[in-house]
Amino acid sequence: MFLDWTHKYSSQGEILDYLRSVAKKYDVLKSIRFNSEVRTMTWNDKESHWEVEVSYNNSPELQRFTADILISGAGALRIPNVPSQFDRFKGEKFHTARWNYDSSLKGKRVAVVGSGASAIQVIPAIAPEVSELLVYQRTPSWIVPRDNHPYSSLFKAVMAYVPFSQKIYRAAIFVVKELTFLTFQRNTWLYDKAGQLSKWVADNHRNKSVTDPVLRERLTPKYQMGCKRILTSDDFYPAMMRDNVTLITDKIVDVESDGIVTQNGKEKVDVVVMATGFDVTAFMAPAQIHGPVKQFKPDPSNLKSYLGITMNGFPNLFMLLGPNTGLGHNSVIFMIECQMDYIIQAIRTMMDKDISKLEVKPESEESFSKTLQATLKNTVFSTQCGSWYADAKGDNIYALWGGNCVSYWNATRKFELEPFNVTYHNK
Ligand SMILES: Cc1cc2nc3c(=O)[nH]c(=O)nc-3n(C[C@H](O)[C@H](O)[C@H](O)COP(=O)(O)OP(=O)(O)OC[C@H]3O[C@@H](n4cnc5c(N)ncnc54)[C@H](O)[C@@H]3O)c2cc1C
């Protein structure tokens, strides 16, 4: 266990140190091939294995290997979504996930495009150093307090020396987060009460932090709380109140070589920071996956899977954070752990029973997806707010799980062969 966390929300450097320490402790570094990008995965039905092509150090010459089983941990929020109109801007520009650490924003006129999860972290961090900051907001977010306090020496000592204290503290965080799912399940008495409480917390936070009534109104969301991701921040509203920060809510109609044009005119800027989110439909792209009869091409309006872990048409392929396994209320690491436990059971079963090919049946996938979509219809995620959780029409929610974490644990805790078509080695 890592006992040196400095804050409730510790920074990137501390999290990286923790991940490194875990990798070292469990001696996994020797199994990792660094700087290696999987480019294609092709199923060989005769041999019942995947043929994988990998580029090492971005080399065009691909290395090849085979694998009986593939597990994709390619990540869900990974490929920056960059609107093409920003190609026309000739000044300095970068996406939040491709931060240019060589660039100094000191004294510059900077535009941040977006006001979502990434923007609310970037804006308070850069506002004190830039000369002027223009924030382009399409939709205001629901924001609740973060309370990112440093851990006291006493707290750290308790965590270090009192048995089970870390586990109890972690469990308490989990339970509180799980309870927030109540605010997402519509048409229940608890939803009304829990929803009112969450809304009161967010409204109170905004009312206290934003003293200018006009700015406050422009920062007030009009959609149902939870339909888009609820954000946590203590420093975003104070940053928006700064004299050198301007909120622009007019629609961006064009981007020119030196600035951004809205319905109400053009603003020249030195730097554009695109806090424009990620392409969540990419899944494993740009890597290509060729199954026995079809290529993997996710269609958000009709994306189906079984438990978000396997897909018909792609035997012996398991996904971590596949479709419908993101969360709006708790840590996705829990979901990844459930998935890994399920996959380990599946692989053990394949080894024990000498299975060469395991592919989810189309009817299992269909029935799972239908039930899940019906459940999701009763959540706030389907209240049509234009979120990235759903397809363009808002009909098919493909990014999120429809229940709390415990329900996903329950759905994945036991691997059964019944939903799968199976081929055995000896046949
Ligand atoms: C701004 C932001 C905020 C977030 N906040 C939260 C949060 O508050 N709570 C939460 O639970 N989650 C949050 N997430 C989600 C976060 O993605 C997960 O918590 C976690 O990092 C997912 O782990 P992962 O291993 O699945 O994916 P990642 O951490 O994205 O790792 C994927 C890895 O796969 C590699 N990869 C991809 N394709 C290939 C390929 N073809 N060949 C070889 N390697 C490949 C990538 O290089 C990367 O190393 C946030 C994400 C972002 C971007």
**Whether residue 169 is found in the same domain as residue 256:** yes
Ligand 1 closest atom vs CA 284:
38
Chain segment 113-143, per-residue pLDDT in tens: 999 999 999 999 999 999 999 999 999 999 9
CA–CA separation, 65 vs 224, rounded Å? Answer: 49
Residues 309 and 362 in one domain: yes
- Taking CA 233 as the corner, what is the angle to CA 229 and CA 239, rounded to the nearest 5 degrees? 120
Residue 302 has pLDDT above 90, yes or no: no
Q: Do 51 and 117 fall into the same domain?
A: no
In a domain, 7, yes or no: no
Q: Which domain holds residue 382?
A: 33-79+280-424
Ligand 1 centroid, distance to 333 Cα (angstroms)? 10
Task: Kindly state the percentage of the chain with pLDDT values over 90.
Answer: 84
Pair (295, 354) in one structural domain? yes
Average per-residue pLDDT in the chain?
94
Among 243, 274, 305, where does a domain finish? 274
Residue 311 Cα to ligand 1 midpoint, Å, equals 21
Nearest protein CA to atom 43 of ligand 1, as residue: 37
* Co-location of 249 and 306 in the same domain: no
- Whether residue 16 is contained in a domain is answered as no
* Centroid of ligand 1 to alpha carbon of 284 (angstroms): 12
Q: From ligand 1's centre to the CA of 56, what distance in Å?
A: 21
Q: Element (H or E) spanning 289, and its range?
A: strand 288-290
Q: Is the pLDDT of residue 1 over 70?
A: no
φ, ψ dihedrals at 72, nearest 5°: -95, 125
Query: Residue 304: which CATH number?
Result: 3.50.50.60
- At 195, the pLDDT band (50, 70, 90 cuts) reads confident
Domain boundary among 274, 296, 314: 274
Residue whose tokens read 């000498």: 354
Q: Nearest C-alpha to atom 16 of ligand 1 is from which residue?
A: 77
What is the whole-number distance in angstroms between the Cα of residue 105 and the centre of ligand 1? 27
Is residue 400's pLDDT more than 80? yes
The residue out of 239, 274, 309 marking a domain boundary is 274
**Residue minimizing CA distance to atom 31 of ligand 1:** 75
Residue type for position 252: I
Q: Are residues 62 and 90 in the same domain?
A: no
Tens-digit pLDDT profile for residues 349-391: 999 999 999 999 999 999 999 999 999 999 999 988 988 898 8
Query: 202: buried, middle or exposed (CB in 10 Å: 19+, 13-18, 0-12)?
Result: buried
Residues 46 and 96 in one domain: no
Residue 365 lies in a domain: yes
Nearest-CA residue for ligand 1 atom 50 is 77
Q: Where are the beta strands (DSSP E) in 4-124?
A: 36-44, 49-56, 62-67, 70-72, 92-95, 109-113
**Mind listing the pLDDT tens digit for each residue in 384-396?**
898 889 888 888 8
CA distance 427 to 293: 21
Mean pLDDT of 272-289: 90
How many angstroms does the Cα of residue 321 sit away from the middle of ligand 1?
9
Atom of ligand 1 minimally distant from the CA of 336: 26
195 and 247, same domain (yes or no): yes
Kindly report, residue by residue over 155-175, the tens digit of the pLDDT: 999 999 999 999 999 999 999
Quick check: 177 pLDDT over 80? yes
Q: What 8-state DSSP symbol labels residue 30?
A: G
% pLDDT > 70, the chain: 99
Contacts of 169 (CB under 8 A, 6+ apart): 159
Per the structure, the count of domains in the chain is 2
Q: How many CB atoms lie within 10 A of CB 56?
A: 13
Query: 75: CA distance to ligand 1 center in Å?
Result: 4
pLDDT in tens, 216-259: 999 999 999 999 999 999 999 999 999 999 999 999 999 999 99
For a pocket test of ligand 1, which of 65, 77, 278, 319 has the largest count of ligand atoms closer than 8 A to its C-beta?
77
Q: Answer yes or no: is 290 within a domain.
A: yes
**Residue 48 shares a structural domain with residue 148:** no
Domain membership flag for residue 66: yes
Confidence of residue 187 (pLDDT cuts 50, 70, 90): confident
Residue written as token pair 């409730």: 8
Q: Measured between alpha carbons, how far is residue 154 from residues 5, 161, 162 in Å? A: 13, 11, 11
Using CA positions, which residue lies closest to atom 34 of ligand 1? 74
48: in domain: yes
165 shares its domain with 234: yes
Residue nearest to atom 17 of ligand 1 (CA): 77
Task: Say yes or no: 57 and 192 in one domain.
Answer: no
Output the pLDDT for position 190: 78
Round to whole Å and give the CA distance between 184 and 385.
14
Residues touching ligand 1 (Cβ under 6 Å) are 37-38, 73-78, 117-118, 287, 320-321, 331-333, 336
* Cut 0.85: pTM above it: yes
Straight-line distance from the first to the last Cα atom of the chain, in angstroms, rounded to the nearest whole number: 47
Residue 189 has pLDDT above 90, yes or no: no
Q: Does residue 417 lie within any of the structural domains?
A: yes
From atom 5 of ligand 1, which residue's Cα is the shortest distance away? 117
Strands 271-274 and 288-290: unpaired
Minimum-distance ligand 1 atom for the alpha carbon of 330: 11
Give the pLDDT band of residue 3 (cuts 50, 70, 90): low
Model confidence pLDDT, tens digit, residues 222-234: 999 999 999 999 9
Q: Is 250 within a domain?
A: yes
Q: What is the pLDDT of residue 192?
A: 79
Does one domain contain both 137 and 231? yes
Per residue in 4-42, pLDDT (tens digit) is 889 999 999 999 999 999 999 999 999 999 999 999 999
